Amino acid sequence: MMVTLSVRLRPRLVESRLNNIEKGEKTEREGFEPSVQLPTHAISSRVPSAARTPLQVCIAKPRCGRVEYGIGFVANVKEASLGRPRYANPTLTGLLVVDKPLGWSSMDIVRRLRRVTGGAKAGHAGTLDPLATGVVICCLGKATKLIDSLMGMTKVYEAGVDLSAFTATDDREGPREEVTVEQPPTREVLLEVLPRFVGEIDQKPPAFSALHIGGERAYKLARRGEVVDIPSRKVRIDAIELMDYAWPIAALRITCGKGTYIRSLARDIGIALNTGGHLSSLRRTAIGAYTLEGAFNEERLQQPIGEGDLLPLPGNATASSQPVSDGNQSNDSAAH
> How much is the pLDDT for 85?
56
DSSP assignment letter at 186: P
- Between 78-82, 93-97, 290-294, the lowest mean confidence (pLDDT) is in 78-82
Q: Please say if the pLDDT value at position 12 is more than 80.
A: no
Mean pLDDT for 60-65 is: 38
Q: Alpha carbon of 283 to those of 17, 21, 251, 301, 332: distances in Å?
A: 41, 38, 11, 19, 21
The one-letter amino acid at 321 = S
> How much is the pLDDT for 315?
66
> How much is the pLDDT for 227?
81
Q: Please say if the pLDDT value at position 15 is more than 90.
A: no
pLDDT tens string 153-211? 999 999 999 999 999 999 999 999 999 999 999 999 999 999 999 999 999 998 888 78
Mean pLDDT for 34-42 is: 39
Q: Alpha carbon of 312 to those of 49, 78, 96: distances in Å?
A: 32, 30, 9
> How much is the pLDDT for 167?
95
CB proximity list for 22: less than 8 A, separation 6 or greater = none
DSSP assignment letter at 146: G
Q: Please say if the pLDDT value at position 61 is more than 70.
A: no
- Percent of the chain whose predicted confidence (pLDDT) is above 70: 68
pLDDT tens string 235-279? 999 999 999 999 999 999 999 999 999 999 999 999 999 999 999
Mean pLDDT for 87-91 is: 82
For the sheet with 35-39, list strands across it.
35-39, 13-17, 3-9, 66-71, 58-59
Please confirm, yes or no, whether 129 is among the known catalytic residues: yes
Q: Name the phi and psi angles at 332, rounded to 5.
A: -75, 150
CB proximity list for 92: less than 8 A, separation 6 or greater = 117, 118, 120, 121, 140, 141, 306, 307, 310
Whether the CB-CB separation of 156 and 284 falls below 8 Å is answered with yes
- Biggest CA–CA distance in the chain, Å, is 80
Mean pLDDT for 67-88 is: 45
Domain architecture of the chain: domains with CATH: 3-79 (no CATH), 155-287 (3.30.2350.10)
Pairing between β-strand 21-22 and β-strand 66-71 as defined by DSSP bridges = unpaired
Q: Please say if the pLDDT value at position 223 is more than 70.
A: yes
DSSP assignment letter at 168: T
Q: Please say if the pLDDT value at position 68 is more than 60.
A: no
Which among 109, 114, 112 is positioned nearest to 124, based on CA atoms? 109
Mean pLDDT of the chain: 76
Name the active-site residue from 99, 129, 162, 170: 129
- Between 106-115, 167-176, 222-231, 302-311, the lowest mean confidence (pLDDT) is in 222-231
Mean pLDDT for 96-122 is: 95
Tell me which of 327 and 200 has the higher pLDDT: 200
